[in-house]
A and B are shown apart, each in its own frame.
Chain A
Amino acid sequence: MNSIGNYALFIAHGLAIWGLVASFMAYRSRDGRYLDSVIRSIYGICGLVVLAVLALVAALLRNDFTLKYVWEYSRRSQPAIYKVTALWGGMSGSMLFWCMLLAVFSALAVTFNRRNNLRLLPFTSFLLLLTLGFFLFLLNFKINPFEPLKDGAGQLLSSYSPQALKDVDGNGLNPLLQNVYMAIHPPMLYLGYVGFTIPFAFIMGALAHRERNTFWMKSARNWAMFSWLTLGIGILLGGFWAYIELGWGGYWAWDPVENASFMPWLTGTAFLHSFLMQEKRGIYRFWNVAFIVTTFLLSIYGTFLTRSGILQSVHAFGQEDPSVPVYLRLSTIFLGFMALMLVVSAVFIWRRRALLQSGQKLESAGSREALFFYGNLLMAFFTFVVVFGVSSPIFYRMITHKELSHGPEFYNPRVLPIALAILLVMGLASVAPWRRGGWESYRKQLFIPFLAGLSALAASVVAFFTGGSLSTKDFSGRPLTYIYLFACVGISFFVAAIIVEEYTRTVRHASSRGLTVPRSLAAPFLENPRRYGGYLVHIGIICLFLGIAFSSTFQTQYQESMRPGDAVRFGPYTVRMERLEHDNLDRNFSSVNEKRIWADLLVYRGDKMVAYLQPMRVFYASNPEQPTYEVAIHSRPMRDFYTLLAGYDLKDNSAIIGAFVNPMVAWLWLGGFFVLVGGLTALVPMRRV
């Protein structure tokens, strides 16, 4: 069974090499037979890699501990779902999963574009096969998921008798990863990372083949949109997982591995916007190529950072064995591949530079086109800060052999003003007229939004200085934080009002055509799904901005020692501890995967009981020494009450209850919902009315 996986990967690698040769021949000779062979080899790779994944999943489900990977990331008592998700719990499994997604996407992209965009396919396939070949090379020779396990005496476990094998159990998946969100988060990220390869290959293909037809752009745009959406949702799920699982009351820490997924998302965002300009006006061609190449490279870089352990990170994956020669190290191979792709892209950009010149000149600095340009410039800078923050410690270490890290203190002051400027441009761009922007056209449409923004700003300032809980003393302690907060409120309302104004105008227009009320309300989405889907995404982004601004500014933390019967105040809440309970806590995990200690808490606001919370500590079989947190959250739109069992003393029957009052965290998840719905609306255009 396991040898099937190995053979499949090996043959797939051979097919990738043949496909590369054939696609090169197809590119040079334009002989259709070569292209047919290329397409068949992509299908073949797809089938073989899927087979290899199935073989590994089967091994995980069958507790086949003759494989090192299975032994490291699974154990007998692990629930079946986490045996399957162990597929992406470690380095080689997740690389195999990455490779499978790319193979499936490539096969789909080739199938969909075979009829209409055949001319692009030779070079497009060449790039896809190069990437596939790279991962297949790694899987075959560097990080083989089917590597057999040896015992301490160097004997292969596959030579054990079936009886002896029965007594072997694996390490098990990290308990932190045994969570349903962690089961979805990595595949979502990978869908995004991998997905960006397709538009990258198409755009470079169109460039290399001097495609003048714009038919392929729709396909590239849809792939990019899909990837952007899954990557974004993946990032947010990661934040949600951190929030409910790690017990520190936050969702984002500028950790390098978080940043790794954020970087391609930022450039992907910029790409989607400037690509829109290319579709509509034929401009910003160079920007688009630059952004998609960057996004692709950052996706590879992100995969590498996440998985190589080169960075100091809470995610702390494996470190590299220093005895391996430098040129054989995973980091060298990854950087070499990135350099290769960069050179290939740069060569074609240079050779086809005439094609990248915009056909038209921009007419006005206030036009929509110009605003998109400003937005992209800001996005590029945002990305630069993050790339610098992630990468400079690596170079610093190479030069000085000392380590440093950049935390929120590095990022926040540098990116917050940029982020606010992006928010502002986002709003202005949706009312800016095409081609020419005059003061007149703005004045008419921006009057009400301007008032809305200004009054929200004024209201937040007044509420801040007159409200009971905060004072001018807080303000002078960290003035910038509050200035950004006020600006965020003002700009958010300004932009939201612009979107609402646009929407109501379209609805009014629809109802004046005699449509019924529900029909009119839906009309903007049905008639112009891309535009209004985009607006929904923007509303989601506003929610995210507000949620981040308030939760990071006003988070308060509490910690109290409690016994059953005690009642303690945590900010606006009063908590009564009813009981401290636990499972049988002996060390016998032969039949169970987890054991718990929990506190029963009644939460009151005033005299009214608002929640019953059970923060827990859970001992997992794979790591019985250290229990993980299972936090309990009372979530309301304006405020989360977040509790955890920070400490416990079973002999004394007492517990340390930690609590956070986190304002408006729910707005993040709401924002994510809007982004998802809006993205899907734009992605799946509905039937025209």
Chain B
Amino acid sequence: MKVKWTVGLIIVVGALALFFLSSTGNSKPVYYYSPTEFHADTAKQRDRVKLKGIIQPGSVKTSQNHLDLWFNVQDEKDPSKTIPVHYQGAIPDAFQEGLQIVVDGRMDGQGTFQGRELIVKCPSKYESKGKAPGAAGDGKGSNE
């Protein structure tokens, strides 16, 4: 039964080799950065990263046809740190000012982060931390 174990061994070695050798080139992991971390880590500023923060209230602009989108990603801990983002394409369903967002993309030469994918995190919808109705008869539950 040596052959069976030889074949088994080939599979194991092959799969392991595949697993470790694939971690070069395009398949590098994509790291998450807050605006503060992103500013601090100059080495990463040309790489593809996931920028994570808050959609700064008041910063959202869209072109007239709702296709181009500009907004600032604001640091969750330090509101003074922001990074301007441009994104073109379909705006995700749950995109709203003040919500957490992850922008997958990279910095362009002009200091604007060009997003290629927006991932909107919307905890208040899936797992609400929403406050209860403010007072009796308020009618609408505030939704953060």
**Within B9-42, which residues are at the interface with A (CB < 8 Å)?**
11-12, 15, 18-19, 22, 26-32, 37
**Identity of the chain B residue whose Cβ is nearest the Cβ of A627 in the assembled complex:** B93
**Within B88-115, which residues are at the interface with A (CB < 8 Å)?**
89-91, 93-96, 100, 102
0/1 interface trace, chain A 354-380, chain B, CB 8 Å (1 if under)? 000000011111100010011001100
Are A171's CB and B141's CB within 8 A? yes
With a cutoff of 8 Å between Cβ atoms, the chain B residues found around residue A384 in the complex are 15, 19
In whole angstroms, what is the CA distance A68 to B31 when docked? 36
Are A168's CB and B133's CB within 8 A? yes
- Does B80 touch A at the CB level, under 8 Å? no
Are B19's CB and A414's CB within 8 A? yes
- Does A470 touch B at the CB level, under 8 Å? no
Are A373's CB and B65's CB within 8 A? no
Are A318's CB and B96's CB within 8 A? no
In whole angstroms, what is the CA distance A636 to B133 when docked? 49
With a cutoff of 8 Å between Cβ atoms, the chain B residues found around residue A655 in the complex are 65
Shortest distance between the CB of B139 and any CB in chain A (Å): 5
In whole angstroms, what is the CA distance A361 to B137 when docked? 76
- Does A552 touch B at the CB level, under 8 Å? no
How many interface residues does chain B have, given as a range? 35 or more
Stretch at the interface among A400-408, A541-549, A676-684: A400-408
- Does A247 touch B at the CB level, under 8 Å? yes
Instruction: Decide: A365 near B132, CB < 8 A? Known: A247-B90, A317-B127, A407-B30.
Output: no
In whole angstroms, what is the CA distance A164 to B3 when docked? 78
**Within A131-185, which residues are at the interface with B (CB < 8 Å)?**
149-153, 157, 160, 164, 167-171, 174-176
Are A72's CB and B130's CB within 8 A? yes
**Identity of the chain B residue whose Cβ is nearest the Cβ of A620 in the assembled complex:** B93
Contact of B67 among A71, A561, A622 (CB under 8 A): A561
Instruction: Decide: A559 near B89, CB < 8 A? Known: A365-B7, A413-B27.
Output: yes
In whole angstroms, what is the CA distance A447 to B124 when docked? 60
- Does A18 touch B at the CB level, under 8 Å? no
Shortest distance between the CB of B87 and any CB in chain A (Å): 12
Count chain A residues whose beta carbon lies closer than 8 angstroms to a beta carbon of B.
81
- Does B136 touch A at the CB level, under 8 Å? yes
Majority DSSP secondary structure for residues of A touching B: mixed
In whole angstroms, what is the CA distance A557 to B89 when docked? 11
Contact of B30 among A174, A388, A404, A658 (CB under 8 A): A404
In whole angstroms, what is the CA distance A71 to B129 when docked? 12
Are B8's CB and A72's CB within 8 A? no
Are A646's CB and B90's CB within 8 A? yes
Are A176's CB and B93's CB within 8 A? yes
**Within A503-560, which residues are at the interface with B (CB < 8 Å)?**
559
In whole angstroms, what is the CA distance A547 to B78 when docked? 46
**Identity of the chain A residue whose Cβ is nearest the Cβ of B28 in the assembled complex:** A409
Are B4's CB and A168's CB within 8 A? no
With a cutoff of 8 Å between Cβ atoms, the chain A residues found around residue B32 in the complex are 312, 402-405
- Does A644 touch B at the CB level, under 8 Å? yes
Are A174's CB and B89's CB within 8 A? no
Contact of A314 among B6, B67, B119 (CB under 8 A): B119
0/1 interface trace, chain B 27-66, chain A, CB 8 Å (1 if under)? 1111110000100000000000010100000000000111
Are A316's CB and B136's CB within 8 A? no
Instruction: Decide: A646 near B89, CB < 8 A? Known: A169-B139, A377-B11, A626-B96.
Output: yes
Are A151's CB and B135's CB within 8 A? yes
**Within A619-657, which residues are at the interface with B (CB < 8 Å)?**
622-623, 625-629, 644, 646-649, 652, 654-656
**Identity of the chain A residue whose Cβ is nearest the Cβ of B29 in the assembled complex:** A404
**Identity of the chain A residue whose Cβ is nearest the Cβ of B137 in the assembled complex:** A167
With a cutoff of 8 Å between Cβ atoms, the chain B residues found around residue A656 in the complex are 65-67
With a cutoff of 8 Å between Cβ atoms, the chain A residues found around residue B4 in the complex are 362, 364-365, 370, 373
Shortest distance between the CB of A679 and any CB in chain B (Å): 27
0/1 interface trace, chain A 278-318, chain B, CB 8 Å (1 if under)? 00000000000000000000000000000001001011111
Are B96's CB and A625's CB within 8 A? yes
In whole angstroms, what is the CA distance A141 to B133 when docked? 25
Contact of A248 among B8, B19, B90, B102 (CB under 8 A): B90
With a cutoff of 8 Å between Cβ atoms, the chain B residues found around residue A332 in the complex are none
Are B22's CB and A414's CB within 8 A? yes
**Identity of the chain B residue whose Cβ is nearest the Cβ of A249 in the assembled complex:** B90
Shortest distance between the CB of A159 and any CB in chain B (Å): 10
With a cutoff of 8 Å between Cβ atoms, the chain A residues found around residue B65 in the complex are 561, 647-649, 652, 654-656
Contact of A374 among B1, B7, B143 (CB under 8 A): B7
Instruction: Decide: A167 near B93, CB < 8 A? Known: A316-B121, A649-B66.
Output: no
With a cutoff of 8 Å between Cβ atoms, the chain A residues found around residue B135 in the complex are 151-153
Are A175's CB and B134's CB within 8 A? no
Instruction: Decide: A623 near B131, CB < 8 A? Known: A169-B139, A404-B29, A656-B66.
Output: no
Instruction: Decide: A410 near B29, CB < 8 A? Known: A317-B123, A626-B93, A628-B93.
Output: yes
Are B15's CB and A378's CB within 8 A? yes
Contact of B8 among A366, A377, A559 (CB under 8 A): A377
Shortest distance between the CB of A521 and any CB in chain B (Å): 37
Contact of B136 among A164, A317, A646 (CB under 8 A): A164
- Does A381 touch B at the CB level, under 8 Å? yes
- Does A613 touch B at the CB level, under 8 Å? no
Shortest distance between the CB of A86 and any CB in chain B (Å): 12
With a cutoff of 8 Å between Cβ atoms, the chain A residues found around residue B139 in the complex are 167-169
Are A403's CB and B19's CB within 8 A? no
- Does A47 touch B at the CB level, under 8 Å? no
28 contacts between A and B (CB under 8 A): A73-B128, A90-B128, A152-B131, A164-B137, A171-B141, A316-B120, A316-B123, A316-B126, A317-B126, A317-B127, A364-B3, A381-B11, A403-B50, A404-B29, A407-B30, A410-B29, A412-B27, A418-B18, A421-B11, A559-B67, A561-B67, A623-B125, A646-B67, A646-B90, A647-B65, A647-B67, A652-B64, A658-B89
What 9 pairs between A and B have smallest CB-CB spacing? A318-B127, A647-B66, A365-B3, A403-B32, A365-B4, A381-B15, A316-B121, A72-B128, A413-B22
